[in-house]
Chains A and B, each alone.
Chain A
Amino acid sequence: MKCRSLIAFLLVLCAFTLTGAQEGIGPPDSISADSTRGDSILPPAPVGNLKAWDTDDDHGHSVTLEWEISSDDGAGQNSVLSYEIFRWTPFFMDTLKGIRNSLAQTEAYIAELQAFLPRAKKRLKVHRKGEPGVGFADSVAFYVDTIAASERWLPLHKDRLGQLRRERAQAIDMIPQAHKSYPEQGEWRKVGTALSGQTSYVDAGVKEKVSGDYLADHADYYYRVDAVTADSTIRTSSEIAGPVQSYGQFFNTGRIPVFVAVIVFTFLTVFFVTKARRGADLYVRPLAGIEAVDDAIGRATEMGKPILYVLGLGTAADIGTIASFTILGRVAKRVAEYQTKLIVPCYDPIVMTVAQEIVKSAYLDAGRPDDYYEDIVYFVTQSQFAYVAAVNGTMLRELPATNMYMGVFFAESLILAETGALAGSIQIAGTDQVAQLPFFIVACDYTLIGEELYAASAYLGREPILLGSLKAQDYAKAAVMVLALLGLIAVNLDWTAFTDLFVVAK
């Protein structure tokens, strides 16, 4: 009886002990993710549903990975701190890396030699000129031997460089072939890390073949994502995703909204230009600044004073300057007809060349080619404030009756306009530089605001083609206004289907 009791007692004791041990072994309700004690962390659940595909809308050399987070990320054991992304890499890539390293070393050595040789030859000259003595003789001998050796080695290294470059090119071409050896002859290597909670990663390489970060297109890539805990040895790998190949796309679908806008705008431009060419009468509202040009030229003629036309500080590629060229042509023609003096100081030499052609043609069209002379349009300087100082000096000496500022202006706009006001000139300005508009509005008699400068060229000449494109601009603006209103309504009513239509991706 005593033995049976003892055995029963021992059995009960064992049962209690085992239960307690199981409670210790079994997964606890929660373990702090900060725990660093390896024996308290269990391997986490792996990520789920790992997918890999070629990154959309890019030039290739990039693979996108997505997964569902581990059930122990922010829940369950709450032990996942990060994810590590691995890509299967063939051992062949080490050979390529070795070739790249040798190449870099050889290039560095050649660069050193090429830098050393001229300096050494210079030092040799200095030493040869020096007083003969033990020290100098040794130096001369040293330099002579070193220079000779360097000159011997340099072509050999250059040959070696050429050979290495050929080997590298051949190795790069073999990358897709090397990746076909999966799963033999290679190993998993880490390519990136994602934090806990993240569900995607882009393995983006570069397109330059000579770079160590080059990711070849059309090679089979295999990926795996490890859920990693605080103890980096305790981790769980996902299923393998692949093979996936990267390649470049021929159309960026994320930019479709811009594409549609370009097509629509081009269509509008061509439509209205065609309509204008067929003789349709297109109305353009009067622009006060341009209406005043004729009066201003007349005023200058009556007063016997010149007209100053400033093209601004833009280059010939700036839209504001191009618009100003057209206005200059019209003004020059009128000036030629009235035989008034015209002064056109230029900031940019190419602008000066174009302006000279325009003024010369204008004088020819007005039937006064003999009145044209080269000094009408002249180059001043390409320094902003030096240019302004020169033009101010011209204003105060010549006292023009009319100043016209048409084009691209910066901080000098107020200096020009105030000095012109001091000289008593009528001033007409037009610029697309929004920051300078307040200064021109305050100091000038008439101002063309922003796109009125572009419209002025059409308004002055009344050419059907230019009027047509102006109409297209106006309709495009109307469309923008309507879309802005619709967008305002959509954002407030949360119509994401509408607002998403206008999202432009990278």
Chain B
Amino acid sequence: MRRQIPLMLVFIFGIFMIFQYFVPHESSEWIYEFLLDWIYIIGIFALALGIWSLIRVSVAKIKAHKSGWGYPIITLAGLFLMILFGFTGYRDGSWGFYFMTAEGLSNPMFRHFFDYIMIPIQSTMFALLAFFIASAAYRAFRARNIMASLLLVAALVVMLRFNPYLGPIGPVIADTASWLLNVPNLAAKRAIIIGVGLGMVATSLKIILGIERGYLGKG
């Protein structure tokens, strides 16, 4: 039963969602919108599960004094502080806790933590990519054979696409880069997209029909 019920639910709702795409009638739309509401509700539980998992793992690391156990303390502090700031707001001349309305969003500490900690940290991590791309390009773009040479030339052309210092060959490079993006790149990407799309349809059908059961916990 433990496996049969989820399989049955997946089958019923999967078939309904396929069916709903072809049935525009109001009754089908009503059920569809009802299901959408339920998925939001279930999604919130997933969010709560994520928070609970984070707390559980961090507390376990702190209790066991595993290496680097100071970091989970910072993690938990950040989590609870943002929750506190997000629920605290100023209205009618006094501070208070507001759980249902939006006062917390304009809490200065909430905004400061987001604007001056969260945004710079995330931007910095993304900026690391520039350096990794440089070192990966230096390692990988070697003309070892014909295919590698083609890759090298294409990469150089696309990188020089918007370089303004190329003089008369600038427009030629730009047009070549455009051709590369709009013809061979497009053809290859389209083929991969079609293949991935068909793979997704096949996997989805397997899940709906109960052939693919990996998500239930046994490979």
Contacts and interface: CB of A to CB of B under 8 A. Distances in A.
Contact present between A and B (CB < 8 A): yes
A450 B196 contact: yes
B199 A59 contact: no
Nearest to B193: A434
B137 to A, nearest CB: 8
A414 B46 CA distance: 29
A322 B25 contact: no
A378 B57 contact: yes
Interface string A442-464: 11000001110111010001000
A381 interface: yes
A88 to B, nearest CB: 24
B150 interface: no
A206 B201 CA distance: 33
A477 B194 contact: yes
Contacts of A249: 24-25
A377 B208 CA distance: 27
Interface string B1-35: 00000000000000000100111111101000000
Range, interface on chain A? 35 or more
Contact of A358 (B139, B202, B211, B218): B218
A265 interface: yes
Most buried by B among A418, A437, A453: A418
B109 interface: no
A57 B21 CA distance: 11
Interface stretch (A92-100, A140-148, A349-357, A399-407): A349-357
Main secondary structure of the interface of A (DSSP, over half): helix
B53 A250 contact: no
Interface string B179-212: 0000000000100111110111111111101011
Contact of A411 (B23, B129, B137): B129
Given A59-B24, A249-B24, A255-B21, A449 B140 contact: no
A366 to B, nearest CB: 12
Given A60-B26, A418-B136, A477-B195, A258 B203 contact: no
B128 interface: yes
Nearest to A120: B92
B126 interface: yes
B49 interface: yes
A385 interface: yes
Nearest to A331: B219
Range, interface on chain B? 35 or more
B128 A415 contact: yes
B116 interface: no
A379 B61 CA distance: 12
Interface in A302-318: 316
Contacts of A323: 203
B41 interface: no
Contacts of B21: 252, 255, 258
A15 interface: no
B136 A442 contact: yes
Contacts of A210: none
B199 A450 contact: yes
Contact of B219 (A330, A437, A477): A330
A395 to B, nearest CB: 14
Most buried by B among A259, A269, A414, A451: A451
A350 B24 contact: no
A113 interface: no
B135 interface: yes
Nearest to B124: A385
Interface string A218-245: 0000000000000000000000000000
A215 interface: no
A326 interface: yes
A498 interface: no
A119 B94 CA distance: 11
A144 B92 CA distance: 18
Contacts of B22: 251-252, 255, 258-259
Contact of A432 (B52, B53, B199): B199
Interface in B112-157: 121-122, 125-126, 128-129, 132-133, 135-137, 139-140
Given A322-B207, A434-B189, A328 B24 contact: no
Nearest to B218: A361
Contacts of A476: 198, 201-202
Given A252-B23, A414-B132, 8 more contacts: A269-B202, A329-B214, A357-B216, A358-B217, A361-B217, A418-B136, A442-B136, A472-B202
Interface of B: 18, 21-27, 29, 46, 49-50, 52-54, 57, 75, 92-94, 121-122, 125-126, 128-129, 132-133, 135-137, 139-140, 189, 192-196, 198-207, 209, 211-212, 214-219
12 contacts: A119-B92, A250-B23, A328-B219, A332-B219, A352-B53, A358-B214, A381-B75, A414-B132, A417-B136, A465-B211, A466-B211, A477-B195
